[in-house]
Amino acid sequence: YTGKSSAQLLTESLKNIFVKDYQSMPVVVNENISVYDAIVTVFLEDVGTLFVVDENLLLVGVLSRKDLLRASIGKQELSSLPVNIIMTRMPNITMCKKDDLLIDVAKKLIEKQIDSIPVVKETTTNGYEVIGRITKTNITKAFVALADEDL
Ligand code: ADP
């Protein structure tokens, strides 16, 4: 018997759950696609957030459902409006790495009031390649696994 309280055990478990254990596949689009095509992608891929990349596949922006809704209630023609006009752009993007603790990424989701964070890998050219994503759903899965001691 270790003499540890259940709170201490939970803390220990949390320090063993990493982004790489729970990340899912990112959905990325090119910065030149239209808002119309981005909306179609949200439905086809069944995601809430799209990550926007340049021609070298480096992260340049984030598009949320509300970004797309906001553009849709404007007067612009959605099929000729590129997403890079409306997206949240670098350097204002909250990112994480595959070896980060999941609990720290959960804190960022709360603190920044966002739904999704791209998992990135820094390139030799100081850019960021998108290799995954953490959403509130991934955090919920980890939460349930903790209850099942399914670690
Ligand atoms: P929604 O607006 O659909 O509820 P979010 O809460 O995730 O979705 O997004 C809120 C705002 O924050 C949007 O303008 C979006 O572009 C931006 N955003 C979303 N994720 C990130 C992120 N990882 N880093 C920076 N900004 C983000």
Distance of CA 77 to CAs 34, 37, 73, 87, Å? 10, 12, 10, 16
Instruction: Name which of 48, 64, 52, 18 is nearest 128 in CA terms.
Output: 52
Provide the 10 A C-beta neighbour count for residue 57.
13
Which of 20, 94, 102 lies closest to 51, judged by CA? 94
Look at ligand 1, atom 14, and give the residue with the nearest C-alpha.
Answer: 67
Ligand 1 pocket, residue 114 CB under 6 Å = yes
Residue 47 CA to ligand 1 centre (angstroms) = 13
Q: Residue 5 has which token pair?
A: 């309280």
Domain boundary assignment for the chain: 6-147
pLDDT of residue 150: 55
pLDDT of residue 1: 65
pLDDT (0 to 100) of residue 52: 98
Rounded to two decimals, the pTM is 0.94
Over the chain (151 residues), the average pLDDT of each successive run of 10 is: 82 94 98 98 98 98 98 95 98 98 98 98 96 98 86 51
Q: What is the pLDDT of residues 91-130, one digit of tens each?
A: 999 999 999 999 999 999 999 999 999 999 999 999 999 9
The answer, yes or no, to whether any atom of ligand 1 lies below 6 A from the CB of 92, is yes
Query: Closest by alpha carbon to 58, among 106, 95, 101?
Result: 95
Superfamily of domain 6-147: CBS-domain (3.10.580.10)
Pocket test for ligand 1, best of 64, 112, 139 (most atoms within 8 A of CB): 64
Residue 147: predicted pLDDT: 87
Contact 35, 81 (CB under 8 A): yes
Report whether residue 62 contacts ligand 1, using a CB cutoff of 6 Å: yes
Name the residue among 13, 26, 10, 25 with its Cα closest to residue 101. Answer: 13
Give the CA-trace dihedral at 27, 109, 124, 15, to 10 degrees: -110
- Write down the mean pLDDT value for the chain: 95
